[in-house]
Amino acid sequence: MATPSGQTPADLRIAPVQARSAARLDELLDAAAGVIDEVGYERLTTAMVASRAGASIGTVYRYFPDRIAVLQALARRHLERVADRVGETVRDDEHSTWWDAYEAVLDVFIDAYRNEPGFRSLRFGDGLDVRPPAEVANNERIAAVLTDALHDRFGGGDDDEVRYAVRVSVEIADALVSRAFAAHSTGDERLISSARDILKAHLSLTYGEPVPA
């Protein structure tokens, strides 16, 4: 979980170097995600994380100074996993049009809400005051990855207007999909369907009608 510059993220006391340390950190974050799914992020404590992971409280504090740092690290892991999947999904040759690829990206988000422990409650951490303030907004990060991948796979320009259109689409997707899962554990299908229609109409203004590449 080192930052692109190689520095330790602000939410960690130390960055794991050995595989065993990285595995232990993942175990702690998995435990935190499980607790969040059961009691919510507001009630999460470091003691709960230690108990769920079968670790000592000292092990938790070796990596995290407090519960907020645990939440920050889990949100960071969610972001990294989704960002990686977004890039891989768009570049998959299976998708013959930009809309096929974008719709598959939307499915990545939906799958994270349904199956990634802790994601539905924590999301990326943007709205929960757990993201370090100096970092780029998470939707902006996802939009940048998505724009680059779409450009690499389908062309269509890479100027400020294109980047803005994709950024708006990510904000729309985030708002509607998060609302779809606000009261439904599997998602409100009508809202998800509406999100697909709105996003396709919005992005067609920039990318044109989807035709096989």
For the chain, the domain total comes to: 1
Residue 48 lies in a domain: yes
In angstroms, the CA 71 to CA 105 distance is 25
Q: Please check whether residue 11 lies inside any domain of the structure.
A: no
Average per-residue pLDDT for the chain: 87
Q: How confident is the model at residue 15 (pLDDT cuts 50, 70, 90)?
A: low
90 Cβ contact list (under 8 Å, min separation 6): 101, 102, 104, 105, 146, 149, 150, 152, 153
Q: Is residue 64 part of a domain?
A: yes
Decide: helix, strand or coil at residue 89. helix
C-alpha distances in angstroms, 98 versus 80, 90, 151, 210?
23, 8, 9, 6
More confident call, 60 vs 6: 60
Encode pLDDT of 112-168 as tens digits.
Answer: 999 999 998 887 655 555 555 545 688 999 999 999 999 999 987 778 999 999 999
Which structural domain, as residue segments, surrounds residue 90?
A: 19-207
Mean pLDDT of 82-108: 96
Per residue in 170-211, pLDDT tens?
999 999 999 999 888 899 999 999 999 999 999 999 999 998
Q: Which amino acid is at 11?
A: D
Q: Provide the pLDDT confidence category of residue 7 given band limits of 50, 70 and 90.
A: very low
d(CA 58, CA 63): 9
Closest by CA to 14, choosing from 59, 47, 48, is 59
| Residue 44 maps to a domain | yes
Q: What is the pLDDT of residue 127?
A: 52
The CATH number for 158's domain is 1.10.357.10
Residue 4 domain flag: no
- 158 in a domain, yes or no? yes
- Let me know the angle formed at the C-alpha of 192 by 152 and 84, rounded to the nearest 5 degrees: 35
5 lies in a domain?
no
Contact yes or no for 123/170 (Cβ under 8 A): no
Dihedral angle of Cα 211, 177, 90, 115, to the nearest 10 degrees: -140
> Which pLDDT belongs to residue 35?
96
Question: What is the structure's pLDDT at 93?
Answer: 93
